[in-house]
Each structure stands twice: as C-alpha cells, then as structure tokens.
Amino acid sequence: MTISNIERLNLFYNRFKSRDNVLVLVNADPDAIASAMAVKRLLWKKVASVTLSNINVIERPDNRAMVRLLGVRMVHTDKVQAGDYDRFVIVDSQPGHNERFASFPADVVIDHHPVEPHDDSGYFDIRPDYGAASTIMTEYLKAARIKPSIKLATALYLGIKTDTANFERNVLIEDVRAFRYVFQFANIYLARKIEHADIKPEFLKYFSRAFDRIVFRKKRIFVHLGRVENTDICVILADFFMRVSTVQWSVVSGEHEGLLVVILRNDGARRDAGKTAKKFFGAMGSAGGHKSAARAEIPLKELYKRLSGRTDHEIQRWIMDKLG
C-alpha cells in the first residue's frame, strides 16, 4: 500500500510535541547534511529546539566546505548527552549502520539505503529505490508547502547531485523532479565552490603510498593504505581510481581507530557493491551501500582472528582473496 507525501508528512509530525528537544543524527556527508538541514526546517517553530549532530569527524574538504559556507551548526555526538533530548531522528542512515547510533533510540528514520532490520516503535520511511535522502526530504518540504531558503536548496542540490553521482546511478524520476525543484532556488556558484574544495595537503602522502601499493587484478584495483589519519582518504582514492579507463572495480582500505575500513566502488554495470560488501564482510562488522558504492567496517580484533599475520601486505591479500 502506497501513501501520499502529505500522509508521510503527517506521520512524521505526529512523532513530535511542541515541548520536544530534538536531536538529528547523521553520518555527515553532503546528502546527510542536507537532509538534516531539511528536518530542522520542517520542525522550525513546531518543537522547542533542534540540534544537528554528526557521529563522524568531518574532515573531507567538500564536507568541511559545505558546513562552513552554508553556515551549518553541528555538534559531534561525543559532546551531546542523550538525556538532554526528547526525540531522536536519523537521516540518510539507519540505526544498524553504525554502533554510534545505538546510544540514541530512534523515533524517526528517513533513509534511501537498503532496509535493515528494525523494531516498529518509531516512524521509518525507507525508500531504497531513491537515489538520495535529499530527494525524500525535498518531497517532505513540498508537502509542507515550505519553499527552501537559498542555503537549504543549495544543500539539497548537492545532496542529490552527490549521491546519484551526477545522475549516473540509482536514479528515479523522483530524483530528477526534486533536483529540478531545488535548482531554481539554489546558489549554483556556491555549490560549485563546495564541490571543488581542495584536497587537504596532509592527504597527499596517501596518494604516493597508494601508487606504491596498487594491485591490478581482472580490471580491479586493490589498495590497502595501512593506518590512516582519516578514512575519508580511502573514499577519495577509491573514487579517483574509478577514473582509470579499464577499471571496473576500485577497492581501497585503511585502518583507523581499531577498524579496518574497506571502500568499494564499481561502474554499476555488474555486481552490486552494497550486496558484495554485505556478503563478504557483513558477518564481521557493518557493511552495505548502493549498487556502485559501498563501505565495510570490520573491528581489527575480528580481522586478526582470520589472519596468520598482521602486516599490510597480508591484510591486502586477504581483501583481494575475499573479493576474488
């Protein structure tokens, strides 16, 4: 049974009371940040307060530029206390995607990733066919008859553009309609400045390391970086290597804060990256994503149980053998 966007909006609003202090939780990237901004706008003057909180450290240059140039106020979850809030909203993720969400009982979840097991105590609007959570949030805004501000429209423009890879993957007509709608209010020049944010100088050393360690196998690139200061460099390099003309898969991994993080990218024409990540890594940690982009996070203690040694070479060999 399908329901209208107005009905979805009413179900969303029914979860809140005027005295509520609301915490919106995200694993911050352009789509998540834009979606959180939309939730805050929807709840403006309807609740006592809305705080946006990121579970990750925002280090990628484009994400940092987005937060700075759009004036987004976010507080890391390490600095918030669950007891200070009455309602919790997760957007562009689901409770099972990261253990950091576990400290906050979700009252509302709005997402476009594959559906994870969940209880029925909250309001869940999960549409895995959609290309971006920003598309869903644009539909909520339209149902509420709220015209987005320039900054919000710019954020939603970036969220849709980024998560659909410029409409090259996971696109529905709803994504196109939402993009056309926010485009008329967005500041395209500001969006371009955010998209073209420079790579941090400290990331350059990882490019050199990646080129030294790169392995080609059957139109696939594998790179294990070893210990990294920030896992965003794995994402940057995985995207970068997909630009090589003969490459169909790019797999870049690194170790950070007790986790092995594996980033998968493909051309979207063959096996599903999200299903592949979940199949080979899901039993050891968290894993999932879209057809052409996925991520797995495996506790190193679980990984070491499966290895005879702990060198970067052995870890890279293990990943290559898992993914064939």
Give the pLDDT score at 79: 96
Residues 59, 187 share a domain: yes
Q: What CATH number has the domain bearing residue 306? A: 3.10.310.30
Helices and strands in the chain, H and E counts: 12, 12
Residues 14, 152 share a domain: yes
Q: What single-letter amino acid sits at 87?
A: R
Residues 86, 69 share a domain: yes
Residue in 303, 210, 309 with CA at minimum distance from that of residue 251: 210
Residues 132, 269 share a domain: no
Residues 180, 32 share a domain: yes
User: What total of structural domains would you count in the chain?
Assistant: 2
End-to-end CA distance of the chain: 41
Distance of CA 57 to the CA centre of its chain: 13
CA 32 to CA 27: how far, in whole Å? 7
Residue in 3, 10, 54, 5 with CA at minimum distance from that of residue 33: 54
Q: What CATH number has the domain bearing residue 56? A: 3.90.1640.10
Give the pLDDT score at 1: 62
Give the pLDDT score at 198: 65
Residues 258, 131 share a domain: no
Residues 149, 100 share a domain: yes
**Domain, as residue range, for 243:** 201-323
Which of residues 195, 212, 246 is at a domain's end?
Answer: 195
Which of residues 195, 218, 252 is at a domain's end?
Answer: 195
* CA gyration radius, the chain: 20
238-251, pLDDT tens digit by residue?
Answer: 999 998 989 999 99
Residue 186's contacts (CB-CB under 8 Å, 6 or more residues apart) are: 150, 153, 154, 156, 157
Residues 66, 175 share a domain: yes
Residues 143, 28 share a domain: yes
One-letter-per-residue 3-state SS of 6-53? HHHHHHHHCCCCCCCEEEEEECCCHHHHHHHHHHHHHCCCCCCEEEEE
Residues 135, 216 share a domain: no
Residues 22, 89 share a domain: yes
Per-residue pLDDT tens, the chain, 324 aa: give them: 689 999 999 999 999 999 999 999 999 999 999 999 999 999 999 999 999 999 999 988 889 999 999 999 999 999 999 999 999 999 999 998 888 998 899 999 999 998 887 777 789 999 999 999 999 999 999 999 999 999 999 999 999 999 998 887 778 999 999 999 999 999 998 998 998 876 778 888 999 999 999 999 888 999 999 999 888 899 989 999 998 989 999 999 999 999 999 999 998 776 888 899 999 998 898 898 888 889 999 999 999 988 888 899 999 999 999 887
Residues 173, 283 share a domain: no
Which of residues 195, 214, 235 is at a domain's end?
Answer: 195
